[in-house]
Amino acid sequence: MDMPPILSGIRRQMETLSDRQRVISQNIANSETPGFKARTVEDADFSDLVGSSAGISIARPQVQLTAGMKGLGAIQPAGAGIVLDKDISETKPDGNNVTLEDQLLKLGQTQADFTAMTNLYRKQLNMLKTAVGKGG
């Protein structure tokens, strides 16, 4: 049985937020690595859930991981692309642009978004249970 589109969308957003949290932790771990550039995970694409009858396809730009990036432990998450973070506040003289304060703010926002998705998922499941007569 297929998952309802709303639950599929919530699941996909939770996976994207999980990937984003992992990338933020990699940014924090490399905050002192010379030349390291902060990265983020692009937002999930939900156009397939809208149901376009025109068959329009939107291409997403993605950063291909180099051997050096992979050597630093970077991995390509499934379903979302890692892109260079454009929301940075400063660049250090060694070329590193990771600011711990910025990363911690993004980590907090990611956690809040994940909590909201968890609550929405729980409420949707309770509504489905009520609709089939197994909840209350």
pLDDT at 136: 58
pLDDT at 55: 46
pLDDT at 66: 63
Paired with 40 in beta bridges are 83
Its pTM stands at 0.71
Cβ(22)–Cβ(132) under 8 Å? no
pLDDT at 115: 96
Residue matched to tokens 């926002």:
109
Alpha carbons 58 and 126: distance in angstroms, whole number: 34
pLDDT in 10s for each residue of the chain, 136 residues: 577 888 889 999 999 999 999 999 999 999 999 999 999 999 877 766 665 434 444 444 455 566 665 665 555 544 458 899 998 889 999 999 999 999 999 999 999 999 999 999 999 999 988 988 876 5
Cβ(131)–Cβ(66) under 8 Å? no
Residue matched to tokens 């376009």:
52
pLDDT at 20: 95
Closest residue by Cα to residue 45 from 11, 87, 9: 9
Residue 92, both tokens: 């250090």
